[in-house]
């Protein structure tokens, strides 16, 4: 029998490696399949199920919500190019802004950082808007609020068309719409004035220049009588009083009013009222007329409250 050289064996070994076998240089039989390193897990393939709204204007950026499965932090969104303000809310939801685009139907693509992508073919359509009424802003429920955000706002007006976009300090803001009015909560923001702008899909808009001002929460004018609701189902009437920037008294439902022996200050926008070492009331002011917190005063025991200045 001829003896193969080590070099010949290595050549044969290289060939065998293609089919997952190895051969020792000193001779012998092919070994078991080679245990190769396993590539790192890539996670689930993203699947794009829907986008809402599914239509947008050719002249106006449109906030959208993309739903599906397998979305990973850092995922990108493309709508025939790119999308801005992409936020991966969860593995099943992404918010973004569809940039201005020419008329037509395009694919919606979500790509995870590892390179896997999912597509909703023809998921979004850009349309040339038909001319409509001019929007007019008639009111804003609060003009001042805390830098910490959390202030509920209601924008009223007329001529707001379906698909109108609210710009708050130049940023498209997602709102709830009820009876034609816009409802939303402010986010944390540096002190100063910001514009409120409503733009209809046809490009017509109205602006409330410097319409809202963010301030240090301790500077809010909160003195006066407050009233609201408390309880898991908001079934108790709750009242409290602020005098000289301190919370002096409070009552819940039909219980007797409690006057605090050491009224808590509200200089930071927050307060804690306690008696004999027991915390009875905590809260935070978000605007001169809105506050919320927690209460532990019978019958409102260890529950939440929300109130407005009368």
* CA separation, residue 208 to residues 13, 111, 140, 152, 227 (Å): 78, 38, 9, 17, 30
Q: What kind and span of H or E run contains 7?
A: helix 6-17
Question: What integer pLDDT is reported at residue 13 of this predicted model?
Answer: 38
pLDDT per residue rounded down to tens, the chain (310 residues): 444 443 333 333 333 333 333 334 444 444 444 444 444 456 679 999 999 999 888 888 888 999 999 999 999 999 887 777 899 999 999 999 888 889 999 999 999 999 999 999 999 999 988 788 899 999 999 999 999 999 999 999 999 987 788 999 998 888 888 888 999 999 999 999 999 999 988 889 999 999 999 999 999 999 999 999 999 999 999 999 999 999 999 999 988 999 999 999 999 999 999 999 999 999 999 999 999 999 999 999 999 999 999 9
For residue 69, the number of C-alpha atoms closer than 13 Å in the C-beta half-sphere is 4
Which neighbouring-strand residues pair with 96?
64
- CA pair distance 113, 97, nearest whole angstrom: 19
Pair (226, 297) in one structural domain: yes
* 23 found inside a domain: yes
Pair (155, 79) in one structural domain: no
* CA separation, residue 134 to residues 146, 158, 176, 287 (Å): 31, 8, 21, 30
* 96 found inside a domain: yes
* 42 found inside a domain: no
Pair (206, 224) in one structural domain: no
Beta strand ranges found along 149-215 (DSSP E)? 152-158, 165-168, 171-173, 176-178, 181-185, 192-199, 205-215
Pair (224, 206) in one structural domain: no
* 61 found inside a domain: yes
- CA pair distance 24, 287, nearest whole angstrom: 79
Question: What integer pLDDT is reported at residue 42 of this predicted model?
Answer: 62
Q: Which residues contact 269 (CB under 8 A, 6 or more apart)?
A: 146, 148, 216, 217, 218, 220, 284, 285, 286
Q: Is 276 helix (H, G, I), strand (E, B) or coil?
A: coil
Pair (20, 53) in one structural domain: no
- Count of CB atoms within 10 A of residue 154's CB? 15
CATH of the domain at 115: 2.60.40.10
Q: Which residues contact 197 (CB under 8 A, 6 or more apart)?
A: 166, 167, 205, 206, 207, 208
* 41 found inside a domain: no
Q: What kind and span of H or E run contains 10?
A: helix 6-17
Cα 121 → chain centroid: 26
Q: Which of 107, 127, 147 is the last residue of a domain?
A: 127
Domain count, the chain: 4
Pair (260, 231) in one structural domain: yes
Pair (182, 226) in one structural domain: no
* 59 found inside a domain: yes
* 120 found inside a domain: yes
- CA pair distance 43, 286, nearest whole angstrom: 41
Q: Which residues contact 264 (CB under 8 A, 6 or more apart)?
A: 246, 247, 271, 272, 273, 274
Question: What integer pLDDT is reported at residue 164 of this predicted model?
Answer: 87
Q: Which of 109, 127, 145 is the last residue of a domain?
A: 127
Pair (189, 233) in one structural domain: no
- CA pair distance 181, 189, nearest whole angstrom: 23
Cβ atoms of residues 293 and 283 within 8 Å: yes
- CA pair distance 281, 257, nearest whole angstrom: 13
Q: Which of 72, 102, 127 is the last residue of a domain?
A: 127
Residues 203-217 as b/e (b if ≥16 CB within 10 A, e otherwise) read: ebbbebeebbebbeb
- Count of CB atoms within 10 A of residue 68's CB? 19
Give residue 86's domain range. Answer: 47-127
CATH of the domain at 246: 2.40.128
* 189 found inside a domain: yes
Question: What integer pLDDT is reported at residue 23 of this predicted model?
Answer: 37
Closest listed residue to residue 137, CA positions, set 200, 61, 62: 200
């Amino acid at each position: 029998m001829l003896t193969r050289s080590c070099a010949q064996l290595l050549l044969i070994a290289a060939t065998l490696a293609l089919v997952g076998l190895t051969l020792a240089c000193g001779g012998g039989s092919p070994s078991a399949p080679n245990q190769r390193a396993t590539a790192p897990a890539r996670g689930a393939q993203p699947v794009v199920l829907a986008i809402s709204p599914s239509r947008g204007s050719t002249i106006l950026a449109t906030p959208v919500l993309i739903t599906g499965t397998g979305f990973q932090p850092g995922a990108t969104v493309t709508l025939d190019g790119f999308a801005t303000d992409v936020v991966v809310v969860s593995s099943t939801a992404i918010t973004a802004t569809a940039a201005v685009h020419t008329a037509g139907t395009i694919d919606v693509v979500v790509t995870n950082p590892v390179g896997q992508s999912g597509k909703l073919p023809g998921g979004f359509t850009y349309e040339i808007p038909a001319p409509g009424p001019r929007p007019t802003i008639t009111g804003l429920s609060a003009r001042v609020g805390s830098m910490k955000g959390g202030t509920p706002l209601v924008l009223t007006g007329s001529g707001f068309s379906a698909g109108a976009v609210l710009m708050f300090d130049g940023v498209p803001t997602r709102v709830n719409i009820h009876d034609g009015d816009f409802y939303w909560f402010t986010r944390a923001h540096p002190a100063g004035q910001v514009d409120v702008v409503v733009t209809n899909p046809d490009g017509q808009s109205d602006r409330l220049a410097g319409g809202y001002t963010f301030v240090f929460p301790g500077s809010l004018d909160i003195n006066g009588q407050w009233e609201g609701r408390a309880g898991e189902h908001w079934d108790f009437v709750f009242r409290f009083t602020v005098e000289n920037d301190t919370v002096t008294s409070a009552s819940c439902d039909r219980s007797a009013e409690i006057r605090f022996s050491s009224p808590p200050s509200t200089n930071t926008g927050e307060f804690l009222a306690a008696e004999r070492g027991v915390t009875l009331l905590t809260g935070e002011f978000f605007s001169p007329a809105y506050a919320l917190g927690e209460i532990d005063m019978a019958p409102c025991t260890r529950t939440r409250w929300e109130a407005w200045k009368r």
